[in-house]
Amino acid sequence: MLLGGRFELQARIGVGGSASVYRALDTQRDDLAAVKVLHPDLTGEERTAERFVREIEVHRRLDHPGIPAYRASSSEGMHWMATDFVEGDCLAALASRGLKPSEVATWGLELCATLGWLHDLGIVHRDVKPDNVMIDRDGRALLLDLGIARTEARITQHGDLMGTPGFMPVEQELDPRDADPRTDLYALGVSLYAVLTLRSGAELAYDFTRDGALSRLPWPLAEVVRKATEQEPDARWPDAAAMELALAEALDAL
């Protein structure tokens, strides 16, 4: 079966609560694509289908080297979306092999640039974590999965759980509608900590474990992560550009 008369699904490479991701041959371009397909049993659930359509609409207007490019989609019958296929490894998988602080800081810089660009468009990712970052064959960090991104047109309701426990600040846990750019920076800070220490980012959320957790990081990075993961949003980096600058200074000091 060719989706859209173009994409030949080859293998499932990821599965989530609402959709699966497949490696596919793009017969029109004769190369690989990543195709995200909404689980068929969820197409009748109005809000789930609406969120998938919203994700398609968001991807259509994105053009940034830090995000896989949109190719095609459909919301008629089977809901699916195709993007560029990233040849590389998930950051979470790479972390298990051991990473250098300088590598992680460099990828953090790239992710700050991508997040800052999204934030300028009024988009908050809301699910920044190592599983949603791919490192391509050229060593660049790309941000994946805008499935629960918050945009100006909101469909999230009070009581919805949007995000990943351990990577969400308290304001997002209480009400994901309150997520703003500083929410993504918190998640990025936790991600940097998690891939370097292979420990739970939840350690950064409690006063009695926080100092011990930060002491496991090289001091220049520890200070960046400390500010990114403050519990009060106003105490965090004000925007991605500020965190990017701090990471650049930390990288020079490593």
Just list the catalytic residues: 127
Rounded to 10 degrees, the C-alpha dihedral 27/32/34/38 comes to 30
- Cα–Cα distances in Å, from 5 out to 57, 75, 142? 21, 15, 28
Q: In which residue are the tokens 């293998």 written?
A: 11
Whole-angstrom distance, CA of residue 58 vs CA of residue 62: 7
Are 18 and 38 in contact by the 8 Å Cβ rule? The answer is yes
The amino acid at 99: L
